[in-house]
Amino acid sequence: MTAVRTPVAPTPAETTAGPVPRRVRPPRWLDLRLVLGVLLVLGSVLLGARVVSAADATVPVWAVAEDLAAGTELAAGDLVAVDVRLDSTADAYLSTSTRPEGRTLARAVRAGELLPRSVLEEPAELVQVALPVQAGYVPPSLERGQLVDVYALADPAAGASADADGSVTLVVEDAPVQALSGRSDGVLSTPTTTVQVVVAVPAGEADEVLASIGGRPLVVVVHESVDQDPAG
């Protein structure tokens, strides 16, 4: 005789239990997507660094602070350090690692112009001559580096007529001003105050300049531009 099995009702725990969850695998360091992501990030960083480096590829060079005529002897106050991008032309300009003070300009340069090496080629030999000029005969705008003409007037003590031939003589032409001293502003400044104007002239003409002055009063005339040849 065959026994009949009576079905057993499931317990409450068996009724409420869900499917057995799959075990979550830990991430693999060699996962292809992870490797590709890291490579993309590194590539972006390197590309950005290269772009920034190329944009900031500047070099420090000297620029001119004010207009300076040919023949001007450079001083520290004439130069300003600037950072510019010059690429292959950088060697044509004077780096701030070089100190050009004391060198003479072979041609005129303008304010803000980068200082090229070629402009420091030695021109004809020049000497500096100090000329005593009454303040009333020196333009207030006169500055170092400008081009001037200097005229000698008739000496009133000699009784020369203002209309006499040779009463006004051009003694210095197209000369760069190297220095100024003795000029003052305010109530202490008078037209008879003596201002020392130092100009550069060709060495062979210094004796002739001094002989032409001969103690006569001098007048300084400033050129509008520095773009002239002092030897002209």
Q: How far is Cα 131 from Cα 129, in angstroms, rounded to an integer?
A: 6
**228 within 8 A of 147, measured Cβ to Cβ:** yes
CA 68, 227, 98, 82 torsion-angle sign: positive
Q: What sign does the dihedral 69-70-72-77 (CA atoms) show?
A: positive
pTM: 0.64
Domain 59-120 has CATH 3.90.1210: yes
Q: How does pLDDT run across 41-81, given as a tens digit for each residue?
A: 888 888 777 766 655 578 889 999 999 998 898 999 999 99
CA angle 37, 42, 46 (to 5 degrees): 150
- Residue 52 CA to residue 21 CA, distance in Å, equals 51
Structure tokens at 5: 């099995």
Phi, psi (degrees; rounded to nearest 5) at 129: -125, 130
Q: 215 or 184: whose pLDDT is higher?
A: 215
Domain boundaries, the chain: 59-120, 126-222
In 3D, which of 129, 103, 132 has the Cα closest to residue 201? 129
Tens of pLDDT, residue by residue over 105-141, are 888 999 999 999 888 866 568 889 999 999 889 998 8
Please report, rounded to a whole number, the percentage of residues in the chain having pLDDT higher than 90. Answer: 28
Amino acid identity at 139: P
Question: CA–CA separation, 113 vs 8, rounded Å?
Answer: 104
Measure Cα distances from 213 to 44, 52, 156, 183, 190 in Å: 74, 62, 14, 21, 23
| Token pair for 93 | 């300009």
